[in-house]
Every structure is written in structure tokens, then in C-alpha cells.
A and B are shown apart, each in its own frame.
Chain A
Amino acid sequence: MRDDASPLCRGGAIGLVLVGLCVSGPSIADEPVQINVTLKDHRFEPAEIHVPTGKPTVLFVTNEDATSEEFDSTALRVEKVIVGGHYATIRLRPLSPGRYPFMGEYHAGTAQGVVIAE
């Protein structure tokens, strides 16, 4: 599985990224903010995600359930399947202030959340 990348590879990758960050210097500020989200028992944690307005953000969603889920949001224009036990990165465009609801389409009864840009 892809998740089982060897520690050496991972260490190398992290090192490379760090070097890249040092070299690129000022652009660090432009790197999108990453927010970790967990999906467990068909619920998002956190279910309320606060992001700064006008800046791209990345949601790093880990699906801890055995079942797949489809992250779905009309407001965020995202539709992405997250296979059970896997993770997915979800890119958010720079948002204007407001509430952007999202849900897990396969378990919409419980899997509900909202991104709040402020």
C-alpha cells in the first residue's frame, strides 16, 4: 500500500521539503495552511473548521472508518471519495467570509460539517 512508504523515503522527502522551504524563503507565507480532519464513526472531527479568508487552505482528511466516504460540498465545489482507511487532501480556494457546509454523502445523517471563513 502507498501509506507504507519506508521511513527512509519519508525522512528523505521531509528533508527535501525542508531544504525547499529554506531555499524558497519568502514564499513560505504563500504555502496553503493545512488543517487535519478525521472521519470516524461517520462524523467529522472537527466538524467546524475555521479558515482565514482570502487564503488557500488544504484539508487533510483521514478516513478512520472501514467504509468509503464521499466528501461533498456544493459551496466549496468539492466532490471527493475517501476510501476507508485512507486519507485525502482537499484543496480549498481562497474563500470570502461565510459558512461553507460540507457532508459525507454516503452517511449524510451524521457526517456533516462546515468550513467557516473569517
Chain B
Amino acid sequence: MLATLVIVFREVFEAGLIVGIVLSATRGMARRGLWVAYGVAAGVLGASLVAGFAGEIAAWFEGAGQELFTAGILLLAVVMLSWHNAWMASHGRALARQIRQVGAAVVAGERPPAALAIVCGVAVLREGSEVVLFLYGIAASGGSSAPGMIAGGALGLLAGGLVSAVMYLGLLTIPTRYLFSVTSTLITLLAAGLAAQAVAFVQQAGYGERMTGTVWDSSWLISDDSLPGRLLHTLIGYTSEPSWAQLLVYILTIGMILGSMRLVRWRNDTALRH
């Protein structure tokens, strides 16, 4: 039961952090709860499918299917996060002003954040498939009694959900004026972290195995397996032993997102002047 609790908590917490960021980044937008719920539901369905066909997926691309599949969904999330930030660069200020005027009420007329629904789906799919595979393994081996597994799973889900909710509530205390700057920064770092993770999977699949040397080793300070390590890994893509390729892609992703946000703002400003 304890093993189930730990694994379920960990994965729910990791997916929940991302959902929390998405919820705070879409504050005030119409039907955002529904879209996030769609994303999470699609993620749960996808997780079951991915877990069910894990053997088949692994066999794709001469045994590199799992890595390329994971890299693919990570890069999809990176694109969606970048798109959202570019969109916020042009709509964020007006949105924040409207939220201040009408309080916490929903701002009418803003389109649903479809891009971030996909991000929620990807987060749940990725962590959820690990949970399903793990639970299925326990159920199949009969190593743990069914009530123990259900209790552990439920407690893990609850605890993971609670910690994510606390973080979301913390983000909500940020004054509206700064909210979207904070969430844009969080999303930029999140995207960079996911891109860097994708690099490791692509290289593991046997492509572009360059710059694989380790830049630093901070495992003595924060290990990837510790709770702070996992928190930072999910939020900003922290890893205690990154490769040069990961570091390069991390920096490039941040540059690309900040560049596109600046471009959008600049185009908006020139459009206003004319």
C-alpha cells in the first residue's frame, strides 16, 4: 500500500503542478475549467491507452518507439506552451485590466485556452501512464491486496491533489498586475525544461548523440529523486546531471519564447501607432 501511495502521489503531484500553472495562467478566461477538465480527461484516457499498448509502442522504430513517442508529446507541449505565451504577450495586459475591473469574474469574449488544455492532457498522459503500468503490475502479480492498492492509490491521489491545490492557491495570491508576468515566466521555464527532457529521449533513441558530456553534477546538493528535486524537475526542468545538448536546448527554448513574445508585443505596438 505504501509503495502505491508513494508512486501515485509522485505522479499526481507532478501532473498537478502543471495543471495548477495552467489554471493560474488562464485566470479570468471563459470556460477554462471545462477545457482543463477536457485536457485532464483526455490525458487519463490516453494514459490508459499508452499503458495498455506499452509493449507495442516500445517496439516501434526498432525499439526506440517509447523514447520517440515521449519526445514527441513533450515537444507538442513545448509548442503549445510557447504558443500560449506568444498569445498572452498580445492579450495579457488587456486581460489583466479586465480582471481588475470585474474582480475574479470571467472575462467575456476571450477564447478558451485550447493550447493549454493540450498541455494538461500531455502532463496527465505522461505521469498517468506510469501510474497505470505500476498499478497494473501490482494487480497482476497479486503482491498487494486489492483494498491496500485502492487505499494507497486513493490516498496518493488525494495527497498529490492537495499539494497541487496548495500551489495553485499560492499562485492565486499573486496580485493581478503581476499574475501574467509570473505565469509567463513559469510557462517559459516549464517549456524549456520539457524541451531539455525531450533532448535526452531523442538521444536515448539514438539520434543526434552529440554533446552528451555532463555539464555539472549537483546530485550531492539536490538529487533528482528527492522531493525538492522532483518539484524543480517538473517546474523548471532541473536535473542534477544535465548534458551540454540539454543545456543548449534549454537556453535556446527560453530565447525562442522570449523572442516571439517580444516580436508579438512589438507588432502590436506598431499596429497601435498606425
Residues of A bordering B, CB below 8 Å = 1-2, 56, 65-70, 74-75, 77-84, 86, 88-91, 93-94, 96, 105-107, 109
Cross-chain contact A91 with B204 (CB below 8 angstroms): yes
Interchain Cβ contacts under 8 Å between A and B, 15 examples = A65-B141, A67-B141, A68-B136, A74-B224, A75-B219, A81-B58, A82-B58, A84-B137, A88-B63, A90-B204, A93-B243, A96-B213, A106-B7, A107-B3, A109-B3
Size range of the chain B interface in the assembly: 35 or more
Structural contact, B54 and A83, CB atoms closer than 8 A = yes
Contacts of A107 in B (CB 8 A): 3
Binding site for A on B (CB under 8 A): 3, 7, 54-56, 58-59, 63, 66-67, 130, 133-134, 136-138, 140-141, 143, 200-201, 203-204, 206, 209, 212-214, 219, 223-225, 239-241, 243
A6 to B133, CA, bound (A): 29
A74-B66 contact in complex given A67-B137, A91-B206, C-beta closer than 8 Å:
no
- Contact check, A75 vs B141: say whether CB atoms are below 8 A apart: no
Nearest residue (CB) in B for A77 is B200
Q: How far is the CA of A89 from the CA of B209 in the complex (A)?
A: 16
Distance between A82 CB and nearest chain B CB, rounded to angstroms? 8
- Whether the Cβ atoms of B63 and A93 lie closer than 8 Å is no
Cα(A53)–Cα(B209), bound, Å: 16
A81/B54 in contact, CB under 8 A: yes
A89 touches B55 (CB 8 A): no
Given contacts A70-B130, A75-B241, contact A84 B140 (CB under 8 A): yes
Least CB distance, A109 to chain B, in whole angstroms: 8
Most chain B beta carbons < 10 A, residue from A70, A82, A96, A106: A106
Nearest CB in chain A to that of B205: its residue: A91
**A86–B224 CB distance below 8 A:** no
The complex places the Cα of A83 from the Cα of B63 at a distance, in Å, of 12
Residue among B137, B138, B225, B243 with most chain A CB within 10 A: B137
